[in-house]
Each structure stands twice: as structure tokens, then as C-alpha cells.
Amino acid sequence: MTSRPIDPDTAPAQAAGPKRRANGVARRKLIMDAAERIFAERGYFGSTMREVSQESGAALGVIHHHFPSKGQLFAEVVERKRERLLAIIRDSLDKVEAGPQAAQGTIEAFLGPFFRICADNRHEFRDYIVLTSHFMSHYGQAEVGDALGKLLPISHLFMERLGQTAPAMSKAHLQMATYLIEAALVFMVQDTGFLDSMSGGDLSKANLDALIEEASVFFAGGVQALAAAPA
């Protein structure tokens, strides 16, 4: 009979001290950092707990001690940065000035942080945004959909601010505008060269300022058209 590996960082309480508990927290972070990279690179269904073990250097039994299932590990990976990402987006939207260009400014303030973070391979949130965008295609599956549903406050915040720029727009049109912009965002943050190839090199995703500005102008035009359309 084989025994389950014991995590030295989470030994019985009577033997645990502040240092050991601190080591346990560090071990969980190490595992979640590795899982975030693996999920971003290979997707949820293409990843295994064994790969997370290899990436993190933690024994498979230790990982299961902290995270009994891959679904729970994914849920905690999504949860740990959710509030901070929301704060980043809110801070960007708070800087938008009122006026005739408010819709474009709101869209630009929403898209900008996502594009700039994903363009920086060293950014703390880069893999997080890529993995959450990648998994949107599996939103209907409870194994990942429940965790991704916790990101809805970001969508609701954007929809609220976008609605303030077009108060006459119907609720249904506002929801559709938000959905279409976010659907395009999900694709664009995952693009590793399609724009460059499609344009024959005339355009490049690396030109962030132009990409953000032109996308914002395009979507703002759509928002204006929907605002003028019958409800």
C-alpha cells in the first residue's frame, strides 16, 4: 500500500510554526504561477496536473494536497488576480473625459490595458489575460465556466461606462455592443501574427498605439450606429 506524499509545508498543526505556514503559502503561489503559465500555453483541456508538477517542481501528491482537482486549481488561479485586474480596468476608465469623443475614449481605456499587458511577456498579468481569453470558447462548460463567470464584473463595469456615453441606447443594444467589443478583444489578445500575415506586413499587432486607436474608432462608430437604431 502506498501512502500519499506529505507536503512538509502543511504538516500537522501541532508541528507547524509561522515559518512552515509561510512556506505553505509560498508553495501554493509557486504551484499557481506554474499552472497559470501552463493553462495560458496549452489551454485547460490540453493541460494536466502532471505538467503543472513538472513546471512548478512540486510533487504531484503535494499539488493534490493543495488543489484536489484541476478544476479547483483553475478556479483559484482565476480568482487570485480577479480583483486586481478589475482595479486596473476601473482606474483606466476613470481617466476618460466627458465629451463628444467619450465613447471612443471609453473603448480605448478598456482595450488599452489588455493590449499593453499582453504585449509585455514579463508583465505579471500577461499569462492571466491570455488564459482567461483562451477559455472563453469553453464558457458553456461548467468546469471552466463557473470560474470565468467571476470575471463578469469587468464586463459589467465596461458596459456601465459605455452606457453613460450613449444614454439613449437601449439596454439590448448596449449589451450587444459590449459583447461584440469583448468578443473581438478575446481574439485580438490571443493573436500571435494573424494581422501581420493577413495584411502582408502592412499592419502589425506590434504597433500598439495604432491598433488601439483604430479599434476604438471602429467600435465607437458601431456604438453610435446602435444608439441611433430602433430599440
Mind listing the pLDDT tens digit for each residue in 122-170? 999 999 999 888 888 778 887 788 888 889 999 999 999 999 999 999 9
Instruction: Kindly state the percentage of the chain with pLDDT values over 70.
Output: 90
Structural fold of domain 8-68: Arc Repressor Mutant, subunit A (1.10.10)
- Return the domain boundaries, the chain: 8-68, 79-228
Going by pLDDT thresholds of 50, 70 and 90, the confidence category of residue 21 is: low
Residue 84 has pLDDT above 70, yes or no: yes
Give the residue with greater pLDDT, 22 vs 98. Answer: 98
Other Cβ atoms within 10 Å of 53 Cβ, number? 20
17-34 core/surface letters (b: 16 or more CB in 10 A; e: else) = eeeeeebbeebbeebbbb
For the chain, state the CA radius of gyration. Answer: 21
User: What's the CA gap between 179 and 40, in Å, rounded?
Assistant: 22
- Mean pLDDT, the chain, rounded, equals 88
Residue 6 is predicted with a pLDDT of 47
Give CATH superfamily name and number for 79-228: Tetracycline Repressor, domain 2 (1.10.357.10)
pTM score, whole prediction: 0.85
